[in-house]
């Protein structure tokens, strides 16, 4: 997905979409995929370079780009709680992430699943 681009607000994506800076104090700093795919399995990762002083950041898949299949909502992983969210419904998932953590995203369009990794460990 790094080659396809990302959506971010107000996070800043750098280094060929491999790093994300979330220095803004707005709670909803996010870095989401922005490449629409119809089928297959995809994996990408990003290094967290900074986090907001207040609030949290999320890394995930933008549901608006997953139209016409079983994965239609945004799916994300939160920095402050480690929760996984679908749209705005968070559930306990993994451990929180911090600066310098590498967050991996495994998207399986065929089964409609998203798995997050923190420093190569599945959450």
Phi-psi region for residue 64, left (φ > 0), alpha (ψ -120 to 50) or beta? alpha
Question: How is residue 63 annotated by DSSP?
Answer: G
**Structure confidence at residue 18 (pLDDT):** 52
Residues contacting residue 101 through CB under 8 Å, at least 6 positions apart: 47, 48, 118, 119
Q: Following CA atoms 81, 82, 86, 87 in sequence, which dihedral angle do they give, to the nearest 10 degrees?
A: 40
**Structure confidence at residue 7 (pLDDT):** 42
Written as tens digits, the pLDDT of the chain (123 aa) is 333 334 444 555 555 555 555 555 445 555 555 566 677 888 888 888 778 777 788 888 776 554 444 455 678 899 999 999 887 688 999 999 998 999 998 988 888 888 999 999 999
**Structure confidence at residue 122 (pLDDT):** 97
**Structure confidence at residue 12 (pLDDT):** 56
- The domains located in the chain, with CATH, are 6-122 (2.60.120.920)
- What are the residues facing 122 on neighbouring strands? 117
**Structure confidence at residue 83 (pLDDT):** 95
**Structure confidence at residue 89 (pLDDT):** 83
Question: pTM, whole model, 2 decimals?
Answer: 0.73
């Amino acid at each position: 997905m790094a080659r396809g681009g990302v959506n971010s607000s107000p996070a800043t994506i750098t280094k060929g979409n491999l790093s994300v800076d979330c220095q803004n104090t707005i709670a909803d700093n996010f870095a989401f995929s922005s490449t629409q795919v119809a089928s297959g399995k995809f994996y990408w990762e990003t290094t967290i370079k900074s986090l907001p002083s207040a609030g949290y950041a999320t890394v995930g898949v933008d549901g608006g780009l997953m139209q016409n299949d079983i994965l239609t909502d945004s799916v994300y992983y939160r920095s402050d709680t480690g929760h996984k969210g679908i749209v705005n419904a968070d559930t306990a998932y993994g451990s929180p992430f911090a600066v310098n953590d590498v967050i991996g995203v495994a998207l399986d369009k065929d089964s409609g699943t998203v798995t997050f990794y923190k420093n190569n460990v599945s959450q």
